Amino acid sequence: MTDETTASRSELTRRRLLDAALEAFAERGFHGTTTRDIASAAGMSPAAVYVHYRSKEDLLFELCRTGHLATIATVERADEPGAEPATRLSSVIRAFAERHAEGHTSARIVNYELAALAPDHRSEIVELRRDITRRVRAIVDAGVDAGAFDVDDPRTTTNSLLSMGIDIARWYSDRGPLDPQQIGDFYASLALRIVGAAESYPPKSTNDQSNK
């Protein structure tokens, strides 16, 4: 067996444990979940968990870290720095909302279990969250500077835009009437109304017609 094969198997095992932890945390909450629960869901012994992760808190941290990094990547891909502020904002908020709808189970854990993280881990996640906030705030500021947005308090407006997107993870259901794309369109439109640029919003997608 090569070192590469061993590393690949180790990574697969770590992924299985993360998936099992996500499932357990979603069902029981972080504090209601034991290492034994996670090991059982992954089809492993409790002792095997500690080979890959120091604790269940370490598993939560990894879920939070990878989740927030993926969100940063989503925002970065959606942004078009050379475009008009309204276009940038609608694109970013649409992608942000879609992500929280598509990955609502994971998003619920990584956003609402932060208090369970160790101080050093929580600080690292807080900085990732600030990065997301800075990116959206830059778009809001650009809109205000260009006279495209009517915003009295850019800081609070930015926090409101992100908070409403994050909260999708709390209530969204795959069995609901709207799919993630429709949720994204709705939140993009709502965001532009919040910043006073609703008239700049492009025509609704054909998906919207099905909800009339």
Question: pLDDT tier at 7 (50, 70, 90 boundaries)?
Answer: low
Q: Which residue has the higher pLDDT, 79 or 5?
A: 79
pTM above 0.75, yes or no: yes
Would you say residue 2 has pLDDT above 80? no
How far apart, in whole angstroms, are the C-alpha atoms of residue 207 and residue 165?
20
- pLDDT computed for residue 206 by the predictor: 44
How far apart, in whole angstroms, are the C-alpha atoms of residue 128 and residue 142?
22
Would you say residue 27 has pLDDT above 60? yes
- What are the structural domain ranges in the chain? 9-54, 56-195
Same fold, 9-54 and 56-195: no
Using alpha carbons, list the distances in angstroms from residue 169 to 101, 102, 179, 204: 6, 9, 13, 23
Mean of pLDDT over the chain: 91
124: number of Cβ within 10 Å = 15
The dotted CATH code for 9-54 is 1.10.10.60
pLDDT in tens, 132-152: 999 999 999 999 999 999 999
- Per-residue pLDDT, averaged over 105-118, amounts to 96
How far apart, in whole angstroms, are the C-alpha atoms of residue 207 and residue 210?
6
The dotted CATH code for 56-195 is 1.10.357.10
